């Protein structure tokens, strides 16, 4: 069988759905990175995939993905007891409703602050602005200062020089951090310059945050009450009672900051949806939490972000009569499941009504993985994602602006993708 690593890189989001269409019903078999691979999808496949007897994560992720997106030693790569202990740290911070609300409030404040400036500008690129405002909010919330560390080298290797006061200037720490957090996501699935930018961004941020962890652990540190996310990570002990080494702690702190900033992608997709469906604007602007949540779920279902998740079979397995050999790669086709016509009526129509008055089933809507977030590898950040989206999207719907002629295509071969122009708006008027 042909190895499909290259078609995957070339076709992106269309690769697995295309294979599925060509091969007909049932799981798709292929080869990836030199290994036999099988792709599953559907609410029945989700518990199979998230059962540790069937799928292990250690050694499943390629080095280029670890050196950009997740970081070496990240929770994503752990199994068993080690995973459960580390995961508990994320769950305690990210599933705490008070903490999530506090983050949403900071995001709202940053939106108001930024929005006031947009009126004076000839045009605003929403992607850049939203990534900056979420960076400011999540860093303040997590206890990560956005000022340059006194010992830090200038990013270009020059002597450190004064920080620029304008937080949109590349020589300002907020702007640089926002760029780095975006770059790590943007460059994980390509071999080109975006990838090298992502590696440099990760290295810089890991070094910066490892110093912060050391500062927090030093005797002179004044603890906050309640402890910040950075302090919680600094104090976390593994199953063997040891603290995380500063670099791994930095990796895990980045595993909170980076994906929160990644909600920028969904926010800009939300702007795209509003542009394509202006009839939905009024309801999103005025109807409150229920409709905003349905809209956010539909953005997460409809638009392409995480294509699939993958792990390795630890022994020979059987999936409904299909033999899966030990060492095979098992994929859960997230994008395919979110667009499966057997699960969703008119899957390629954007329609928040499908979530009106109901929450999706646990293993039905899977943009951030499936199963139980505490027990398995499901994303622990769904509450944060929904809180940020339900904060930003109704505010966007209430903002007056024009969408000038631009390239709004969302190329499916690019992973991760986004509207090509970054979604430019002009003539911005904040609501009275």
Q: Which is nearer to ligand HEM, 226 or 404 (CB)?
A: 226
Q: State both tokens at 177.
A: 């951090």
368 touches ligand HEM (CB under 6 A)? yes
3-state secondary structure of 262: coil
Residue choice 176, 272, 377, 395 for contact with ligand HEM (CB under 6 A): 377
Q: Cβ of residue 246: shortest distance to ligand HEM, in angstroms?
A: 18
With beta carbons less than 8 A apart as the criterion, state whether 254 and 205 touch: yes
Question: Which residues partner with 320 through β-bridges?
Answer: none
> Pattern of binders to ligand HEM over 90-119, x per CB under 6 A?
x---x-------------------------
Helix (H), strand (E) at residue 332: strand 329-332
- Supply angle C-alpha 67, 176, 126, rounded to 5: 100
Q: Which is nearer to ligand HEM, 76 or 272 (CB)?
A: 76
Q: Which is nearer to ligand HEM, 129 or 148 (CB)?
A: 129
Of 252, 218, 257, the residue nearest 384 (C-alpha): 257
Q: Which is nearer to ligand HEM, 27 or 369 (CB)?
A: 369
Backbone φ, ψ for residue 3 (5° rounding)? -80, 130
> Pattern of binders to ligand HEM over 10-49, x per CB under 6 A?
----------------------------------------
With beta carbons less than 8 A apart as the criterion, state whether 397 and 277 touch: no
3-state SS string over 186-240?
A: HCCCCCCHHHHHHHHHHHHHHHHHHHHHHHHHCCCCCCCCCCCHHHHHHHCECCC
With beta carbons less than 8 A apart as the criterion, state whether 333 and 46 touch: no
R_g of the chain computed on alpha carbons: 22
Dist CA 392 CA 108 (whole Å)? 7
Residue choice 20, 255, 337, 391 for contact with ligand HEM (CB under 6 A): 255
Q: Cβ of residue 408: shortest distance to ligand HEM, in angstroms?
A: 20
Q: Cβ of residue 38: shortest distance to ligand HEM, in angstroms?
A: 16
Q: Cβ of residue 284: shortest distance to ligand HEM, in angstroms?
A: 19
Q: Cβ of residue 18: shortest distance to ligand HEM, in angstroms?
A: 21
Q: Cβ of residue 360: shortest distance to ligand HEM, in angstroms?
A: 15
The burial of 199, by beta-carbon neighbours within 10 Å (0-12 exposed, 13-18 middle, 19 or more buried), is given as: middle
Dist CA 102 CA 100 (whole Å)? 5
Q: Cβ of residue 369: shortest distance to ligand HEM, in angstroms?
A: 3
Site for ligand HEM in 383-412 (CB under 6 A): 384-385
Q: Which is nearer to ligand HEM, 86 or 176 (CB)?
A: 86
State the DSSP code for 69.
Answer: I
Dist CA 239 CA 219 (whole Å)? 25
Site for ligand HEM in 261-320 (CB under 6 A): 262-263, 266, 305-306, 309
Q: Which is nearer to ligand HEM, 389 or 428 (CB)?
A: 389
The residue sitting closest to ligand HEM, measured at its beta carbon, is 381
Distance of CA 173 to the CA centre of its chain: 21
Count residues binding ligand HEM (CB under 6 A): 25
Q: Which is nearer to ligand HEM, 99 or 280 (CB)?
A: 99
Interface residues with ligand HEM (CB under 6 A)? 75-76, 87, 90, 94, 255-256, 259-260, 262-263, 266, 305-306, 309, 367-369, 377-381, 384-385
């Amino acid at each position: 069988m042909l190895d499909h690593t290259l078609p995957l890189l070339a076709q992106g989001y269309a690769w697995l759905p295309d294979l599925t269409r060509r091969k007909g019903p049932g799981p798709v078999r292929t080869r990836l990175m030199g290994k036999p691979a099988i792709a599953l999808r559907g609410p029945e496949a989700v518990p199979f995939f998230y059962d540790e007897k069937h799928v292990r994560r250690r050694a499943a992720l390629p080095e280029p993905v670890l050196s950009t997106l997740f970081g070496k030693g990240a929770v994503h790569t752990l199994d068993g007891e080690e995973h459960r202990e580390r995961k508990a740290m994320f769950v305690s911070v990210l599933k705490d409703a008070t903490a999530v609300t506090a983050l949403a409030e900071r995001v709202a404040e940053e939106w108001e602050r930024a929005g006031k400036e947009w009126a004076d500008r000839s045009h605003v690129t929403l992607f850049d602005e939203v990534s900056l405002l979420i960076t400011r909010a999540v860093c303040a919330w997590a206890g990560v200062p956005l000022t340059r560390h006194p010992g830090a080298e200038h990013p270009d290797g020059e002597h450190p020089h004064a920080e620029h006061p304008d937080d949109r200037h590349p020589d300002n720490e907020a702007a640089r951090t926002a760029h780095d957090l975006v770059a790590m996501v943007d460059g994980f699935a390509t071999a080109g310059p975006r990838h090298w930018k992502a590696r440099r961004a990760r290295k810089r941020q890991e070094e910066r945050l490892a110093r912060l962890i050391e500062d927090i652990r030093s005797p002179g540190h004044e603890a906050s009450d309640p402890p910040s996310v950075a302090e919680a990570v600094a104090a976390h002990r593994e199953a063997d009672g040891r603290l995380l080494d500063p670099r791994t702690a930095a990796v895990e702190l980045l595993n909170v900051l980076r994906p929160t900033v990644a909600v920028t992608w969904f926010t800009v997709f939300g702007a795209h949806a509003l542009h394509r469906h202006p009839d939905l604007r009024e309801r999103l602007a005025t109807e409150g939490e229920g409709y905003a949540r349905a809209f956010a779920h539909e953005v997460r279902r409809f638009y392409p972000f995480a294509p699939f998740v993958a792990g390795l079979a630890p022994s020979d397995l059987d999936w409904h009569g299909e033999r899966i050999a030990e060492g095979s790669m098992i994929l859960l086709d997230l994008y395919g499941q979110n667009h499966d016509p057997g699960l969703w009526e008119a899957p390629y129509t954007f329609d928040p009504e499908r979530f009106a008055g109901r929450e999706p089933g646990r293993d039905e809507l899977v943009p951030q993985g499936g199963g139980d977030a505490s027990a398995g590898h499901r994303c622990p950040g769904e509450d944060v994602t929904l809180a940020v989206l339900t904060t930003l999207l109704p505010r966007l719907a209430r903002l007056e602006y024009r969408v000038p002629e631009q390239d709004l295509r969302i190329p499916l071969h690019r992973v991760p993708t986004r509207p090509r122009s970054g979604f430019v708006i002009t003539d911005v008027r904040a609501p009275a």
